[in-house]
Amino acid sequence: MLFDIYAPARILFGPGSTYRLGEEVAALGKRILLVTGRQSLKQSGNIERITQPLAVAGIETVAFDEVSPEPVTTTVDAGRRRAREESCAVVVGVGGGSVLDVAKAIAGLGHAEGETREYLHGREITTPGLPFVAVPTTAGSGSEVTQSVVLVDPETGKKSSLRNDRWLPRVAVVDPILTMSMPRELTAQTGMDALTHAVEAYTSRWANAYTRSLSREAVRLIVQNFYTAHKLPGRRDARESMLLGSMLAGMALNVARAGAVHALAHPIGTRYGLGHGLVCGILLPYVAEFNLAVVEGEYAELARHAGLVSAGVPEHEAAGRFVHYLRRLTNRLKLPEKLGPLGLIAEDIPNLVEAAMDSSSLAANSRKATRQDLAAILKRSL
């Protein structure tokens, strides 16, 4: 057994942990680029939880609020220019997965030459970046503990991942209070992203004892708290468990990678303008059914650990119940069960499958999937 472990140097987790943000940032630099979404942080009422600790610590803040839900490489380029023009020493990202990805890329390429899209397409990263501090406001992407970003190249319209081992945050401040203002729809979609990370990392070809321990516990936390967080958004205990589950799943994903759901979700989301978590939530039951033949034991273990079945239930039945739970969950969260009503058409399937075939996520999927297999999965979702 041989594997590397990637995780931030420091993680501050728990309600109120944002009050320590100022002292953590001050240890890295006194002038920061604060990366956020266009309106979400202000609308959520969380803006003061971020700005007050920074002000108390004497931090000079330069705002960059140009991040859209599907971030493009040119947004990263704009942030890199702003950081250089304003002589920012640290990048702080506060938001969901898109915001954290953009902030991470701005920091990682802070001293690099050339355009961001060049690095997305394979140009080697040879310069160290700026220190990066991550503050998630959603329980979904786990980007606060990963070294990868997902960006769209506006010239090709293709969404791709860019990874670098040096891009892990110096500090991740993970405060469940910031997630309590999430609306039900966003709770459902981001939660399905986190659950997909946990399930795919657990059954990945590259999973190991370290990642399985993380992803197994992530599944338990999410399964046992998802519906409560969605139905009763003010329940802090449920929000805390969902955010912890999302973080653990992200840490597992760092090493084990994802699977066929993510391979398909990227081109589908880009093609139809759909949220990543929404697409993952719809596809997860279909891909789980496809993978069941080779990961029955793993699904059975997840079902037992999450409390979906008792210890004495036979493996085949336990695994089947786990897949059934995934399908039933989308209905309970009022998510669509198919992609057809959201825009997927049969004529697009060959191109979507072709785009998915090059994904590193597909290479990690527990069951080898051919073009015909992926096409069949998408046809079932019409």
Contact 142, 179 (CB under 8 A): no
Top CATH class, 10-179: alpha beta
The whole-model pTM stands at: 0.96
Contact 158, 110 (CB under 8 A): no
Amino acid present at 108: G
The predicted pLDDT at position 187 comes to 97
The predicted pLDDT at position 208 comes to 95
Strand partners, 273: none
Query: CA–CA separation, 222 vs 197, rounded Å?
Result: 11
The DSSP bridge pattern shows strands 158-163 and 90-95 to be unpaired
Local structure of 104: helix, strand or coil:
helix
Strand partners, 334: none
Query: CA–CA separation, 352 vs 272, rounded Å?
Result: 11
Domain coordinates in residue numbering, the chain: 10-179, 184-380
Block mean pLDDT (10 aa), the chain, length 382: 81 96 97 92 85 96 93 97 97 96 97 96 94 97 95 90 93 96 95 98 96 98 97 95 98 94 95 95 98 97 97 95 96 95 97 93 95 97 96
Q: Look at the chain and count its residues.
A: 382
The DSSP bridge pattern shows strands 31-37 and 60-67 to be parallel
The predicted pLDDT at position 38 comes to 85
Contact 245, 222 (CB under 8 A): yes
Query: CA–CA separation, 116 vs 130, rounded Å?
Result: 15
The predicted pLDDT at position 43 comes to 76
Contact 236, 176 (CB under 8 A): yes
Q: Which CATH architecture group holds 184-380?
A: Up-down Bundle (1.20)
Return phi, psi of residue 267, to 5°. -70, -35
Handedness of CA 13, 17, 22, 27 (dihedral sign): negative
Element (H, E) at 203: helix 184-203
